[in-house]
Structure 1
């Protein structure tokens, strides 16, 4: 997703975090959290279960 399109969205996430859990560009096509709200970070009401977010916690 291009930054210009991101700017038009109303989200509390910064661009880098949003891209990490943006499913259409994710390589993990069989992810059980794909397109589910639970994949989003906790600060926006999700559960932070996206594998791309998990790898960067440590």
Structure 2
């Protein structure tokens, strides 16, 4: 099987999804613990996850 590289658009969408999930998790944990620094931590985790994960291959 040949490896298919994901398109730029798929990578950008993956990063945007990671960012949105990071913001939601950061806001949720910040509200739950009432400690505001969880918001930037959630954003960073979301961005890193979006960068590291491989988008699904287009068929």
Q: TM-score, normalised by structure 1?
A: 0.30
Question: Who wins on radius of gyration, i.e. which is larger?
Answer: 2
| RCO comparison, higher one (Cα < 8 Å, 6+) | 2
Larger fraction in helix: 2
Q: TM-score, normalised by structure 2?
A: 0.30
